[in-house]
Chains A and B, each alone.
Chain A
Amino acid sequence: MRVRVAALAAVSVSFIPLPAWAAALEGQAQRQPVNWIAIAMFVAFVGLTLWITKVAAARTRTASDFYTAGGGISGFQNGLAMAGDYMSAASFLGISAQIFSDGYDGLIYSTGFLVGWPILLFLMAERLRNLGRFTFADVASYRFAQPPVRSFAAISTLLVVSFYLIAQMVGAGQLIKLLFGLPYAVAVLIVGALMMLYVLFGGMRATTWVQIIKAVLLLGGASFMALMVLAQMGFSLETLFSRAVEVKAQSALSGGATAVEAAERGRSIMAPGNFIKDPVSALSFGLALMLGTAGLPHILMRFFTVPDAKEARKSVLWATGWIGYFYILTFIIGFGAIVLVGTESRYLDSGGALSGGGNMAAIHLAHAIGGDAFLGFISAVAFATILAVVAGLTLSAASAVSHDLYATVFKHGRASSTDELRVSRVTTVALGVLAVLLGLLFEKQNVAFMVSLAFALAASGNFPVLILSLLWSGCTTRGAAWGGIIGLLTAFVLTLLSPAVWTNTFDLGLAPFPYSSAALFSVPAGFIAIWLISLLDQSPRAAIDKAGYPAQRVRAETGVGAFAAIDH
């Protein structure tokens, strides 16, 4: 498949018609070739985070420091860090851009990304903290035979992280090329190198602070933008919406539409449009976002950085609050961009589209509101946003390899803390190199499906395994490990057969699986497989697994015997 991808990349490069190249060059010529304010602000951010990494490195001596910052992060800090881990540049630039072009549809995305958080809190957060130590596999495999369930969890973590990471790296390269005027390869290299430095030397402590700082900068920047938009509208949402509708109608009118059509086009941004085509895709996509959130390894890992279950649940309250607030801001920013960017010819190319590409709505709005300085600030924040997300992803993948595979599966729990730490650092370097290579390989590919694939995998593998191992006494080792794999495989294969990959990425014609997300089928597949395999499992191990449930349940509910914080 990799050969095929590379071949496709080569084809798409060589067959770009000349006018497109010319247009791209024109587009770049309009922008400053190098944005010095943005670079200065970004350098300041990097300087600060590297200094934090240096301080954190001096305190990162044990595996516990590396994976969980010694477990001494407060609920408030962890909530901000979770928000920083979760709010990607894609959701900031992508959702505001979607609102800029289609209006209401962006809100459907936002709500989907948020509704998983309450479920994560109600069913899992406290139990995760009470049973786990470093990775979600600690919890999933608590009463089971370690090697099979750990291996499943590690495979799942590596898959989810890889797809998420590729999407982030490609997005980062393209964004930075655009914002800073740096070549794509240089941008990908910088992201890869910085994320490696943070994780390698600073572990969870540095990663947490990078995420906290990023969350504060992003929330601060977005708040300012939304506030300025509202101020120009007399703090009335009604005014904002009616002006946006006017702008859309006006542009349809000047595009040659009749008055009736134009009015209809204007009003269309206040209603759901083409984003969701059929009910099955709608439900399936929503299910992937909602349950996937509760199965993302890099998010689950953050629960082990707080001292106890009480702080774990506080983390989710803060995270949900910040992320929800952020999506409301994004909504205002998207509509603000319609009014303030969509009417200014300097932000549009000759065809009336956004100069620099579809994702630039929020970036142009930053310029319209605060000039070059604020544009530089928001560009730097977007860069910082990517770094915080990729650092969290890398850390969770490194933990899966060193803690789940190396220390537990290969060394049967007898690896020393020093050895485990060494393996996680080697893995971090390997992941950094791999992420850069994949980023370069997928430069010309449409990677949008990879984020939804990551969510579908997490929803179909990790989520059922965690829920059933935590809440169903009948779940067995075999059920969890093989059922989880079946959930993952179903999600993976159906996604390959779906239009986004089959038709749009590989150009193989009509997709055999017609829906935009696999989750509606693969999540039940995961649950049913775990249930059925557990039910049929008559092995001696199954008896041990079931007998272990009552004690696990008490520990999960009370925190008796939970791993304590060791802040030093």
Chain B
Amino acid sequence: MIGVQEEAVIQALGTDERYLALVARRSRLAWLLSAIIFFAYVAYLLLIAFDKALLGTPIAGGVTSWGIPIGLGLILLAIALTGVYVAHANRHHDGLMTEILKDYGA
């Protein structure tokens, strides 16, 4: 698929309702997940900057402080969110996109 034909497909796709809805849906998910990790990290930094003692508070009388599960939790959150995105893209997005593209012979 080259040249003029490809340009025509791209132009047609750009106004296809199903395509627009699908892209908008993924875009919403992508921004939502970005906002989650962004603000989670910013909240963590602000907590460190303004209330160091809170993160140093021991959990249930032990030595381990609240900072440990929060910090490690942030690492796990980053991995989990990438997993959510990839799972969504693989399960829902790719199939629907392939179907739409098939209608245009792409």
The answer to whether A237 and B41 have CB atoms under 8 Å apart is no
Bound: A273/B53 CA distance, A: 10
Q: Which 3 A-B pairs have the closest CB atoms?
A: A271-B56, A279-B49, A242-B63
> Given A123-B30, A238-B62, A310-B90, A115 and B37 touching (CB < 8 A)?
yes
Residue on A nearest B23 in the bound complex, by CB? A557
Chain B, 24-82, CB within 8 A of any chain A CB: 26, 30-31, 33-34, 37-38, 40-42, 44-46, 48-50, 52-53, 55-56, 58, 62-65, 67-68, 71-72, 74-76, 78-79, 81-82
Residue on B nearest A110 in the bound complex, by CB? B75
The distance from the CB of A563 to the nearest CB of chain B, in whole angstroms, is 13
Chain A, 395-417, CB within 8 A of any chain B CB: none
A sample of 8 more A-B contacts (CB under 8 A), given A104-B68, A561-B1, is: A118-B33, A118-B81, A282-B48, A283-B46, A290-B41, A554-B10, A560-B6, A560-B106
The answer to whether A560 and B9 have CB atoms under 8 Å apart is yes
The distance from the CB of A112 to the nearest CB of chain B, in whole angstroms, is 7
- Contact residue among A121, A267, A271, A554 (Cβ-Cβ distance under 8 Å from B82): A121
The answer to whether B41 and A117 have CB atoms under 8 Å apart is no
The answer to whether A551 and B74 have CB atoms under 8 Å apart is no
The answer to whether A313 and B67 have CB atoms under 8 Å apart is no
The answer to whether B78 and A118 have CB atoms under 8 Å apart is yes
Bound: A112/B42 CA distance, A: 10
Bound: A352/B13 CA distance, A: 68
The answer to whether B41 and A115 have CB atoms under 8 Å apart is yes
The answer to whether B14 and A554 have CB atoms under 8 Å apart is yes
Residue on A nearest B76 in the bound complex, by CB? A324
The answer to whether A111 and B50 have CB atoms under 8 Å apart is no
Query: Residues of A contacting B31 with CB < 8 Å?
Result: 122
Instruction: Report the number of A-B residue pairs with Cβ-Cβ less than 8 Å.
Output: 163
Chain A interface extent, by class: 35 or more
CB of A327 closer than 8 Å to a CB of B: yes
CB of A6 closer than 8 Å to a CB of B: no
> Given A272-B52, A286-B42, A313 and B10 touching (CB < 8 A)?
no
Bound: A45/B56 CA distance, A: 43
Chain B binder among A221-229, A298-306, A315-323: A315-323
The answer to whether A241 and B68 have CB atoms under 8 Å apart is yes
Query: Residues of B contacting A273 with CB < 8 Å?
Result: 52
CB of A143 closer than 8 Å to a CB of B: no
CB of A54 closer than 8 Å to a CB of B: no
The distance from the CB of B17 to the nearest CB of chain A, in whole angstroms, is 14
Instruction: List, sorted by A's number, 16 A–B pairs whose CB atoms are closer than 8 Å.
Output: A104-B56, A112-B41, A115-B40, A117-B78, A118-B37, A118-B81, A121-B82, A122-B33, A267-B63, A271-B67, A278-B49, A283-B45, A286-B42, A554-B10, A557-B19, A560-B9
SS class of chain B's interface: helix, strand, loop or mixed?
Answer: helix
The answer to whether A270 and B65 have CB atoms under 8 Å apart is yes
> Given A272-B55, A560-B101, A317 and B83 touching (CB < 8 A)?
yes
Chain A, 103-143, CB within 8 A of any chain B CB: 104, 107-108, 110-112, 114-115, 117-119, 121-123, 126
CB of A345 closer than 8 Å to a CB of B: no
The distance from the CB of B104 to the nearest CB of chain A, in whole angstroms, is 8
Bound: A555/B11 CA distance, A: 10
- Contact residue among B11, B40, B53 (Cβ-Cβ distance under 8 Å from A551): B11
Bound: A55/B83 CA distance, A: 35
Bound: A398/B23 CA distance, A: 35
Query: Residues of A contacting B89 with CB < 8 Å?
Result: 126, 310, 313
Bound: A66/B42 CA distance, A: 39
Query: Residues of A contacting B23 with CB < 8 Å?
Result: 557
- Contact residue among A237, A310, A328, A560 (Cβ-Cβ distance under 8 Å from B10): A560
The answer to whether B10 and A551 have CB atoms under 8 Å apart is yes
Query: Residues of B contacting A271 with CB < 8 Å?
Result: 52-53, 55-56, 65, 67
> Given A122-B34, A551-B10, A117 and B82 touching (CB < 8 A)?
yes
CB of A482 closer than 8 Å to a CB of B: no
Query: Residues of B contacting A104 with CB < 8 Å?
Result: 55-56, 65, 67-68, 71
The answer to whether B41 and A317 have CB atoms under 8 Å apart is no
Query: Residues of A contacting B101 with CB < 8 Å?
Result: 558, 560
The distance from the CB of B8 to the nearest CB of chain A, in whole angstroms, is 11
> Given A237-B64, A272-B55, A111 and B7 touching (CB < 8 A)?
no
Bound: A276/B55 CA distance, A: 14
The answer to whether A555 and B10 have CB atoms under 8 Å apart is yes
Residue on A nearest B104 in the bound complex, by CB? A560
CB of B99 closer than 8 Å to a CB of A: no
The answer to whether B64 and A270 have CB atoms under 8 Å apart is yes
CB of A367 closer than 8 Å to a CB of B: no
The distance from the CB of A491 to the nearest CB of chain B, in whole angstroms, is 19
Bound: A242/B65 CA distance, A: 11
Interface centre among A117, A290, A316, A554 (most CB of B within 10 A): A554
- Contact residue among B13, B14, B50 (Cβ-Cβ distance under 8 Å from A279): B50
> Given A241-B68, A271-B56, A286-B42, A123 and B10 touching (CB < 8 A)?
no
- Contact residue among A270, A557, A561 (Cβ-Cβ distance under 8 Å from B63): A270
Bound: A277/B74 CA distance, A: 21
Residue on B nearest A104 in the bound complex, by CB? B67
Residue on A nearest B65 in the bound complex, by CB? A270
The distance from the CB of A331 to the nearest CB of chain B, in whole angstroms, is 7
- Contact residue among B34, B46, B81 (Cβ-Cβ distance under 8 Å from A123): B34
The distance from the CB of A213 to the nearest CB of chain B, in whole angstroms, is 23
0/1 string, A253-286, CB within 8 A of B gives 1: 0000000000000011011110010110011001
The distance from the CB of B105 to the nearest CB of chain A, in whole angstroms, is 11
Residue on B nearest A553 in the bound complex, by CB? B14
Bound: A108/B67 CA distance, A: 10
Residue on B nearest A266 in the bound complex, by CB? B63
Bound: A242/B68 CA distance, A: 13
Query: Residues of B contacting A245 with CB < 8 Å?
Result: 63
